[in-house]
Structure 1
């Protein structure tokens, strides 16, 4: 009878440990997804900022061609 009780105890321990392992693994997966989402958002933010920077640079160049910028510098230099 004592052997049966010991086996029953080990079976409950096995079920509890497997449930605990499943919970821990689930939390690990959730944390990994959150970290991956955070890094993807950082990457998208960086890319969008770079695109905005490129657009601003192109707009600035289209508004002020290089020859007019040189002319402005020459005018200020002669004053």
Structure 2
């Protein structure tokens, strides 16, 4: 079994992941907003793609956070 990273390091990595995924979601929202404001259909397509990529990234980060919390609870027993 491989040794676990220190808790502070895991928390830092989670904060970085959440920040990156939040930025991705905001980029998608901004792209969709500009697409509507300027009536540029190409940007709408790009915004839709970014929205789904951001949703997938949020799910991955959320799953990682849940797995990490479960591992922490198991270690505390």
TM-score of the superposed pair, with normalisation by structure 1: 0.48
Instruction: Select the structure with the greater relative contact order (CA < 8 A; seq sep ≥ 6).
Output: 2
Indicate the structure (1 or 2) with the bigger Cα radius of gyration.
Answer: 1
More helix by share: 1
